[in-house]
Amino acid sequence: MKADKESMLLYIVTDRTWLGDKTLVSQVEESIKAGATFVQIREKDMPFNEFVAEAGNIKEITDRYHIPFVINDNIEVTLASEADGIHVGQNDRPAREVRAMIGKEKILGVSVQTISQAVEAEKDGADYLGVGSVFSTSTKLDADSVSLDTLKEICSAVSIPVVAIGGISEENIMQLKGSGIDGVAVISAVFAKPDIYAATKNLLELAKKTVAR
């Protein structure tokens, strides 16, 4: 599984805050059926064995639909669950170390906020970049904000795919049009909605318009 520009179009990041009586696996599958193109599982406090099991369950779904699947910031779970790759931030292990640990075949995504971070991440082996937070977000309160101008400059400075993240919703997504991004990463814009399928489908159409060159 590879992270190309097409797979970046609608990148979903899981959050069990809004599970209710549903399972994470069912929510992910619902979103994929509606057009999600990439899945990241993000769990900060889940015990290792439970995390590996949950990741394995989601990978069964993503494999079935031929969608790339990465783990947020956990090399051990990435390797144990045989996920397609990992996504790391600036406060995690350096990208070059992560690349050495996961090998050449797995996907490596890196969060960046500046042009220099973006260029360095690409040089160190990143397959794609997550840039944000492009809007204020309640999901990650400590996220640094990235201006539209910086987002454009990052897109121009690298040759790997770029996905914008942070507070993106159907109300503001079109503000990113013309920035050069290859897609958007969303959390609450999908998982906080009562109808995940409808929310994903709508966002997919808006994402297509947003990334249109």
Q: Choose, from 7, 31, 81, 111, the residue flagged as catalytic.
A: 111
Least confident of 57-71, 140-154, 189-203: 140-154
Q: What domain range is 197 assigned to?
A: 6-211
Instruction: Give the separation between CA 152 and CA 162, rounded to whole angstroms.
Output: 10
| Per-residue pLDDT at 176 exceeds 90 | yes
Q: Is residue 76 a part of any domain in this protein?
A: yes
| Per-residue pLDDT at 13 exceeds 90 | yes
Beta bridge partners of 128: 109
Q: Is residue 82 a part of any domain in this protein?
A: yes
Q: Is residue 128 a part of any domain in this protein?
A: yes
136 falls in which pLDDT band (50, 70, 90)?
A: confident
| Per-residue pLDDT at 161 exceeds 90 | yes
Domain harbouring 107, CATH code: 3.20.20.70
Residue range 19-45, pLDDT digits in tens: 989 999 999 999 999 999 999 999 999
> pTM of the prediction?
0.96
Instruction: Give the separation between CA 158 and CA 115, rounded to whole angstroms.
Output: 9
Residue range 70-121, pLDDT digits in tens: 999 999 999 999 999 999 999 989 999 999 999 999 999 999 999 999 999 9
Q: Is residue 49 a part of any domain in this protein?
A: yes
Decide if 213 is catalytic.
Answer: no
pLDDT the model gives residue 109: 98
Q: Choose, from 42, 59, 99, 106, the residue flagged as catalytic.
A: 42
Integer angstrom CA distances of residue 30 from 97, 179, 180, 195, 200: 35, 29, 28, 9, 9
Q: Is residue 42 a part of any domain in this protein?
A: yes
Q: Is residue 61 a part of any domain in this protein?
A: yes
Decide if 42 is catalytic.
Answer: yes
Q: Choose, from 140, 152, 193, 201, the residue flagged as catalytic.
A: 140
Q: Is residue 51 a part of any domain in this protein?
A: yes
Q: Is residue 1 a part of any domain in this protein?
A: no
- Assign 53 to helix, strand or coil: helix
Asked if the bond preceding 133 is cis, omega within 30° of 0, the reply is yes
Decide if 111 is catalytic.
Answer: yes
Q: What total number of domains does the chain contain?
A: 1
pLDDT the model gives residue 143: 58
Mean pLDDT of 133-142: 72
